[in-house]
């Protein structure tokens, strides 16, 4: 699940949110809110991955992360994406969707709280981190939210 959440969010931040900022009147404010939620999720999951499975604070952090993920989904589906859909034509939406899907397939799959939320920084740092994450995933090196690997 961590791999899906982080690759999804990275693709949004790299492809969709710049389009929202460029096309939607209050896109800057809308994307800033979701980017903050993404950053909080990054921080929480990074903390969770560092904690041993039996740590008493781990479950609370997991619950906080899921609550933030649910909030980010609501903000994206109720605010950002409908506004983007109203602001750009169907051809542009299809292009954004195709680009988003391609970026998601090559995005980092774990939290990296220190990387910027916006291009070009996230894209530049995302490439080496994606390679690292995908090798780590393939070899099952490191910890995960479920506690495996430690």
What pTM does this model have? 0.84
Cβ contact 61:47 at 8 Å: yes
Tokens encoding 137: 């995933």
Percent residues over pLDDT 70 in the chain = 93
Residue-wise pLDDT tens digits, 93-145: 999 999 999 999 999 999 888 888 888 888 888 889 999 999 988 997 654 44
Residue 2 clears pLDDT 80, i.e. is over it = yes
Local confidence band at 35 (pLDDT 50, 70, 90 cut-offs): very high
């Amino acid at each position: 699940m961590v791999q899906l959440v982080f690759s999804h969010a990275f693709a949004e931040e790299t492809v969709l949110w710049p389009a929202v900022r460029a096309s939607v009147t209050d896109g800057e404010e809308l994307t800033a809110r979701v980017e903050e939620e993404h950053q909080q999720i990054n921080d929480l999951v990074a903390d969770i991955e560092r904690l041993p499975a039996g740590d008493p604070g781990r479950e609370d952090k997991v619950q906080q992360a899921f609550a933030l993920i649910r909030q980010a989904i609501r903000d994206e589906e109720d605010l950002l994406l409908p506004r983007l859909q109203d602001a750009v034509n169907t051809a542009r939406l299809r292009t954004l969707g195709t680009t988003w899907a391609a970026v998601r397939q090559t995005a980092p799959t774990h939290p990296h709280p220190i990387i910027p939320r916006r291009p070009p920084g996230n894209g530049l740092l995302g490439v080496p981190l994606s390679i690292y994450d995908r090798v780590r995933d393939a070899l099952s090196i490191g910890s995960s939210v479920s506690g495996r690997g430690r």
